[in-house]
Amino acid sequence: MWRVGMSEEIGKALQAVVDRVRQAAARRPQTLPLVSPRLVAVSKTKPPEMVIEAYRQGQRNFGENYVNELVEKASNPQILSSCPEIKWHFIGHLQKNNVNKLLGVPNLFMVETVDSVKLADRINSSWQRLRAANSQQLKIMVQINTSGEDSKHGLPPEETVSTVKHIVSQCPALHFMGLMTIGRYGYDLSQGPNPDFQMLLSCRQEVCDNLQLPIEEVELSMGMSTDFEHAIEVGSTNVRVGSTIFGERDYPNTPSPEKRRVVVDEEAAGKLQHLTVKEQ
């Protein structure tokens, strides 16, 4: 529940993350594109008041994992009136039967989780139909399953180039922005650079080489609360940070204390989607 004092807590936490993002970007090698990282504040399970407070503190990009929750928050009268420049990112698994509902979201900025040609085609046709009077393309990213885990959504890395080529050539309503991954949770950085992040970097290079795209125009969405600084240092241009800004989340329907300990941490619910109830 919202309580007195949370405004100050959110402000301090947000500023601390913004500072860490800036410092991590300054540590990147000069060989990487000079793209300022975008901070997406993941407001999953949090009330509209927290979104409004983060917006008041200067945050503009917000992410949600579930279509119904995003629809509810984006349509909230308080958010609509208080946050006119808000940019919503959808960062969860998108079922084709929810495409129309998602695309109707006010201030939808980007869909980061396009994980098949069929889904891209559905989004493309729906966006053309729903926004017929608006010629603006919808920004999308292609999600890659870099860890190869069955519990993760995303394309196999070897399908990246063909999928991006299809989107660029056959989906005129979509603007391909880059690649996204969740990656394996809890990687120990003492073992070296995160291999999932390295895989996404490799996928981007293949896309740029095959489609003759400038590397600085293909973004990488990788990194969350536990690893966003490392992600930025190796090339991420879009990090998704939730619990570090808004605090731990409440999952009242979590089936057991053991699973609860897993999902309360940063976006682990999205990373362990086989433990959560599928949204319909």
Element (H, E) at 232: helix 228-234
| Total of domains in the chain | 1
234-244-179-37 Cα dihedral, nearest 10 degrees: -60
In a domain, 237, yes or no: yes
In a domain, 78, yes or no: yes
Q: Which domain holds residue 18?
A: 1-254
In a domain, 143, yes or no: yes
Can you read off the two tokens belonging to residue 107? 């201030």
CATH number at residue 201: 3.20.20.10
- Please give the pLDDT value at position 13: 97
The segments of the chain whose pLDDT lies below 50 read 1-2, 4, 254-280
**Local structure of 250: helix, strand or coil:** coil
In a domain, 32, yes or no: yes
In a domain, 214, yes or no: yes
- Please give the pLDDT value at position 243: 93
Separation between Cα atoms, residue 45 and residue 269, nearest integer Å: 11
| The total number of residues written for the chain in this structure | 280
pTM score over 0.75: yes
- Please give the pLDDT value at position 254: 44
Tell me: the pLDDT tens digits for 179-194?
Answer: 999 988 888 888 889 9
CA distances for 120 relative to 3, 139, 163, angstroms: 41, 11, 9
In a domain, 147, yes or no: yes
The three-point CA angle 199-268-145 to 5° equals: 25
- Please give the pLDDT value at position 278: 39
Q: What average pLDDT does the chain have?
A: 88
In a domain, 278, yes or no: no
In a domain, 259, yes or no: no
**Local structure of 14: helix, strand or coil:** helix
- Please give the pLDDT value at position 273: 43
- Please give the pLDDT value at position 158: 97
- Please give the pLDDT value at position 263: 39
